[in-house]
Amino acid sequence: MSALDLKPTLEEEGRYYAEAMLERFLAGKAVPDELETIVSFMRGDMLRGFCHVLQRALGGAHG
């Protein structure tokens, strides 16, 4: 198994960012502009993974 096989997909990376953001938010450690800063550099699969985690956390259905 090579190092490339261990690299997370962009969607997995987006999910990681969302989980970390939610953890900081729930702990009262997130600053107001943090969500905007994180999302501003995301596109495509990374943004899809990020949104999936947020949607699930908010109780929404994901198709």
Query: Mean pLDDT throughout 44-60?
Result: 94
Please give the pLDDT value at position 20: 96
Please give the pLDDT value at position 41: 94
pLDDT tens figures, 5-48: 788 999 999 999 999 999 999 999 999 899 999 999 999 999 99
| Domains in the chain: boundaries | 9-57
> Measured between alpha carbons, how far is 12 from 10 in angstroms, rounded to an integer?
5
With a CB cutoff of 8 Å and minimum separation 6, the contacts of 57 are: 18, 22
